[in-house]
């Protein structure tokens, strides 16, 4: 009998505690910038796609929910012909972001991905690609890579010497 009354008392006291209930969706919660939510593909500072279709994100993905195909533009620059993420399989682990050598793939603080139809959870490149640089600014992979793919000439990258002149015996 006494314990029942005590329980009623404690329950009553909760009426004066700080409210835990969130006013979602009227009031949106604060999520830190490094929250692992929806995946996007970003662009570099020149506005080009950052993704070089290296397949590392797909390889590291524990649920194998990323599929892409590499293609080359007229300068030889590599980009994904298609880039597909099956979000109905994604576990938002963020391994893809860690594996990405170009900062192209990033997880953003957005989790509102509810769909009535599971097929709508399949995102193609046009759904993933944003127009900005996302969380990481100022990095362009092709400026540090050794290849000439229309972004910079051979030997013009950061930390590179001018191309070797084979006809010159003095070095």
Partner 1 sequence: MIKIQIDGTFYEVKGDRNLLETCLALGFDIPYFCNHPSLGSVGACRLCAVKKFADADDKKGRVVMSCMEAVTEGMRISVNDPAVKTFRAAVIEGLMTNHPHDCPICDEGGECHLQDMTVMTGHNYRKFVFKKRTYNNQNLGPFVQHEMNRCIQCYRCVRFYRDYAGGKDLNVFGSANHVYFGRHKDGILESEFSGNLVEVCPTGVFTDKPLKKHYARKWDMTNAPSVCMHCGLGCNIIVSERYGSVRRVMSRYNGSVNGYFICDRGRFGYEFINNPDRIKKIQFRPSKNNNLQEAREVSETGLSEIFKSGKVVGIGSPRASLESNFALSALVGKNNFFHGISGKEQKLIQKAVSILESGIAHSPSLKEIEKCDAVLILGEDVTNTAPMMALSLRQASRNKTLGIAAKLGIPKWNDNAVREMDQDTKSPFFIASSFSTKLDELADEIYNAAPGDIARFGYSIASAINSGAPVLIHPDEKLQNRVRKIADALSAAENPLIVTCITSGNEDILNASANIAIALSTAGKKPSIAIAFPECNSVGLSMLDGGSLDEAADTISKNGADTLIILENDLYGRLSLKNADSIFEKCRQIIVLDHLMNETAKRADILLPASTFADSVGTIVNNEGRAQRFYNVIQVAEPVKESWRWISDMVKISEKNNDYTWDKFDNVVASLVSSYPVFSGIKEKMVSADFRFFNEKIARQNKRFSGRTAMNANISVSEPKPPQDNDSPLNFSMEGYKGDPPSSLIPYYWSPGWNSSQSMTKYMDEPEGHLKEGGDPGIIIFSNKNKSSVDYFKNFPDPFKAKPGELLIVPVYMIFGSEELSSKGETIAERISEPFILFNEKEITKLQLIENEKSKFIINQVVITAIVKHDNKIPDGVAGLSVLTAGMQYTDLPDLGKVLST
Exposed, middle or buried, 118 (CB in 10 Å: 0-12/13-18/19+)?
Answer: exposed
Q: Please, which residue, 40 or 54, has the CB nearer to partner 1? A: 54
List of residues contacting partner 1 (CB under 8 A): 52-56, 58-59, 61, 63-70, 72, 78, 84-86, 88-89, 101-102, 118-119, 121-122, 124, 141, 144-149, 154-155, 159-164, 166, 169, 171
Cβ 150 to partner 1 shortest distance, Å: 12
Place of tokens 């012909």: 81
Cβ 151 to partner 1 shortest distance, Å: 11
Q: Please, which residue, 81 or 110, has the CB nearer to partner 1? A: 81
- For the chain, report the end-to-end CA distance as a whole number of angstroms: 97
Closest CA to 96 of 68, 115, 120: 68
Cβ 72 to partner 1 shortest distance, Å: 7
User: 44, 129 in Cβ contact below 8 A?
Assistant: no
Q: Please, which residue, 22 or 154, has the CB nearer to partner 1? A: 154
Cβ 135 to partner 1 shortest distance, Å: 19
How far is it, in rounded angstroms, from Cα 38 to Cα 61?
15
């Amino acid at each position: 009998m006494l314990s029942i009354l005590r329980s009623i008392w404690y329950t009553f006291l909760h009426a004066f505690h700080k409210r835990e209930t969130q006013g979602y969706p009227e009031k949106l919660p604060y999520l830190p910038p490094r929250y692992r939510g929806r995946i996007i593909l970003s662009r570099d500072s020149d506005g080009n796609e950052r993704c070089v279709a290296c397949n590392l994100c797909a390889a590291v993905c524990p649920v194998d929910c990323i599929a892409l195909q590499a293609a080359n533009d007229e300068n030889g620059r590599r980009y994904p012909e298609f880039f597909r993420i099956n979000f109905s399989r994604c576990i938002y682990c963020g391994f893809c972001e860690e594996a990405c050598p170009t900062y192209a793939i990033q997880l953003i603080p957005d989790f509102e991905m509810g769909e009535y139809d599971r097929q709508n959870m399949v995102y193609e490149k046009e759904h993933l690609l944003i127009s900005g640089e996302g969380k990481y600014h100022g990095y362009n992979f092709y400026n540090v890579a050794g290849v000439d793919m229309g972004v910079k000439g051979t030997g013009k990258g950061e930390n590179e010497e001018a191309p070797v002149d084979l006809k010159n015996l003095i070095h």
